[in-house]
Structures are given as structure tokens and as C-alpha cells.
Amino acid sequence: MRIMVTGGLGFIGSQMVRWLLDNEPDVDIINVDALTYAGNPANVADYADNSRYQWIHASIADRAQMEPCFADKPIDAVINFAAESHVDRSIQSGVPFVATNVLGTQILLELARTYHVPRFLHVSTDEVYGSLGPNGLFRETSPLQPNSPYAASKAAADLLVLAAARTYQQDVVITRCSNNYGPYQFPEKLIPLFVTNGIEGQPWPLYGDGRNVRDWLHVEDHVRAIWAVLNSGKSGQIYNIGGHTEKSNWEIAEDLRAILGLPASVIVPVPDRLGHDRRYAMDAQKITKELGWEPRIAWEDGIASTVAWYQQHEDWWRPLKTGAYREYYRQQYGESGTTRAPSASR
């Protein structure tokens, strides 16, 4: 089976690449990645010479670059991870988000149809559903009510994928997952940012009142779910994926403080993210009932091993916190690392 993974040099896509090469001997992978700031060949360095793996440096938003990837040899499935993925960056400018997440997805859908790719799996997110109050869960039938430019671009892509199913009977499936954590996550996201700042002796900028809630899932559980949906999901269907692990950002900070042995003063409240969604939580009964998938990695184990990974892989994350990312971080949080003004994101 020859699978095109897009965005396979990023956090979740690279976990998919490593997991498939380790666990599925009949799978060959063509990894199409544009190598944005979030893409990192080091994420798959141990597999670069594997005869079942190939990286093509191309953008999904560029049809001329993408067409040869499809024309070369038949592809059995596309798994589309490629995206601009960071909400705060989308608040600065939504343009790259529309280019990759919307236009890129449409180009992939059209090429997959032209070259008769039997199945297209689109990796979406719980953020397309918007924000929950203190109770309730997102279901696959919940309305799309995205709030950030990032979430809106993901929702637009989902609609294009569903339109392809309806209009052309294209075989598509969509997964919508909650917040992932684990190794190789770019240190702009909450957990790797706090862990690496903690190791460096830097403060933890906690947005607003810190009571926003996310539903956390280990990245390995996510890629197992994607594999189940790719193989056994029903055509045209959406599958929620969640960890049943709701935590406020304060609780995350407290858990990390306990593991790293840091004082309460490391947590520094900063002005809130614009339009900050209050709570996400997934009802993932459908994937469990239909496909038998369930999370396997408990939060306590997953977060402990994740922190240990960042402690043991300073060579991976230290170079990422210099140069262009350092400039982005200064814009977000100021010289002190804690003076983030709401206007910094406008």
C-alpha cells in the first residue's frame, strides 16, 4: 500500500510516518511537506534512509508542484495533515492559513480524483465546532461554529471535503481530534512551551484567567485512530477523536510544575488570546462503537514520558527556540517573556 502523507515533517504527521514504518510493513510512504517553520526533517531522521520512505519538498497549495507527486506512481490513500496549525499565528494573519488549509486541501482533493486515489483522509480538529460552556460535548453532528481564523480555515476545508463526497462520490473520511501532546511538538504550543521554558528557567505565560479547558490526547493514540478510520471508517463520514482528559490550563501548569519541581512563581498570567475559546470536549463514542478505538495512554503516564522526552532531547528543541521563532516569541510575549499585550496579536 502506497500512502501519501502530507505534513509528515510536523508534529502529528511525523508521528504517523514513524508509527507506520514501525508497525505496518506493507506500507510505503511518500511524505509531501513544504518545510515551513513547523516542519523539521529531524522528526523523521531515523527513517530518512528507509527504502519504504520518501520525502518530497512541495507545497500542497501549489498544483504544479503537487501534480507530479500523484502522476509518478499510483497512490492508495492520502492522509492530509499539512496545515498552518497555530491559533496565535492565525490571529496575526490568516492568509497562510487560507492558502494551505483551504486552497491546499482543494488542490489535493482534485488531484486525488484525477489520479483515482481510492481514499482521502482529511485530518481536522475539534476547533471547527467552536467553544463549549461548562457542560456538554461536541458530537459529529454539532454545528460548525469556528472562532479563530485557523479554525475557520479548517472548517472551510472540511466543507470542501464533504462537498467532494456529495458532488463526485469521492471516497473521503474526516477525523476531528482534540488537543494532542507528546514528543516532537513545536515549542510554540502550550505543553512543549512550558516544559522547555521550565528547563531554561523562563516563565510560563498563562493566558487570561487560565481556566480555558482542552481535552488532551497523546499523539500516538491519535495516529492509531487515524489508521483505524483510514482502513475501516465509512466513506463520507466524520469521526471525532478525543482523550476524555479535560484539563484547564491552570491544571496543566500545576501538573507540569509537580513533574519539573518548579515554584508557583513560574506561572505568570498574561493578557488573553483574542477570541479565546473557553472549552473543548469531545464525544468520541462513534469511533469507539464503530471501529473499537479507545485511547490507551493515560494522562499521568503520557505527560510524564513527554516531559522526560523534552528533558532528554534538548538537541531537538533548543535550535527551534532561536532565530525566527525567537523573534515571533518576542512579538508575542515581549523581552521579559511575560508582558504580552493584546495588541501584540492584532
How far is Cα 206 from Cα 129, in angstroms, rounded to an integer? 24
- 3-class DSSP string for the chain: CEEEEECCCCHHHHHHHHHHHHHCCCCEEEEEECCCCCCCHHHHHHHCCCCCEEEEECCCCCHHHHHHHHHCCCCCEEEECCCCCCHHHHHHCCHHHHHHHHHHHHHHHHHHHHCCCCEEEEEEEHHHHCCCCCCCCECCCCCCCCCCHHHHHHHHHHHHHHHHHHHHCCCEEEEEECEEECCCCCCCCHHHHHHHHHHHCCCEEEECCCCCEEEEEEHHHHHHHHHHHHHHCCCCCEEEECCCCEEEHHHHHHHHHHHHCCCHHHEEEECCCCCCCCECCECCHHHHHHHCCCCCCCHHHHHHHHHHHHHHCHHHHCHHHCHHHHHHHHHHHCCCCCCCCHHHHC
* Alpha carbon separation from 263 to 116, 193, 201, 202, 204 (Å, rounded): 57, 17, 11, 12, 11
Choose, from 33, 126, 158, 188, the residue flagged as catalytic: 126
Tell which positions 119-158 bind ligand DAU, by CB under 6 A.
125-127
CB 183 within 8 A of CB 173: no
Nearer to ligand DAU, 273 or 321 (CB): 273
From the list ligand NAD, ligand DAU, none, partner contacted by residue 39 (C-beta under 5 to 8 A by kind)? ligand NAD
Amino acid, res. 170: Q
212 binds ligand NAD (CB under 6 A): no
Tell me how many residues contact ligand DAU (CB under 6 A). Answer: 19
Name the minimum Å distance from CB 129 to ligand NAD: 12
Catalytic site includes residue 150:
yes
From the list ligand DAU, ligand NAD, none, partner contacted by residue 75 (C-beta under 5 to 8 A by kind)? none
Choose, from 150, 181, 184, 310, the residue flagged as catalytic: 150
179 binds ligand DAU (CB under 6 A): yes
317 binds ligand DAU (CB under 6 A): no
Catalytic site includes residue 328:
no
243 binds ligand NAD (CB under 6 A): no
13 binds ligand NAD (CB under 6 A): yes
Catalytic site includes residue 184:
no
Name the minimum Å distance from CB 318 to ligand DAU: 18
108 binds ligand NAD (CB under 6 A): no
87 binds ligand DAU (CB under 6 A): yes
Among residues 28, 33, 88, 110, the one that binds ligand NAD under rule CB under 6 A: 33
Among residues 53, 81, 280, 299, the one that binds ligand DAU under rule CB under 6 A: 280
Nearer to ligand DAU, 30 or 217 (CB): 217
Amino acid, res. 174: I
56 binds ligand NAD (CB under 6 A): no
321 binds ligand DAU (CB under 6 A): no
From the list ligand DAU, ligand NAD, none, partner contacted by residue 6 (C-beta under 5 to 8 A by kind)? ligand NAD
Residue ranges in contact with ligand DAU by CB under 6 A: 85-87, 125-127, 178-179, 189-190, 193, 205-207, 212, 214, 249, 273, 280
Contacting positions for ligand NAD (CB under 6 A): 6-7, 9-13, 32-36, 38-39, 59-61, 81-85, 100, 104, 123, 125, 154, 177, 179-180, 186
What positions carry a catalytic annotation?
A: 126-127, 150
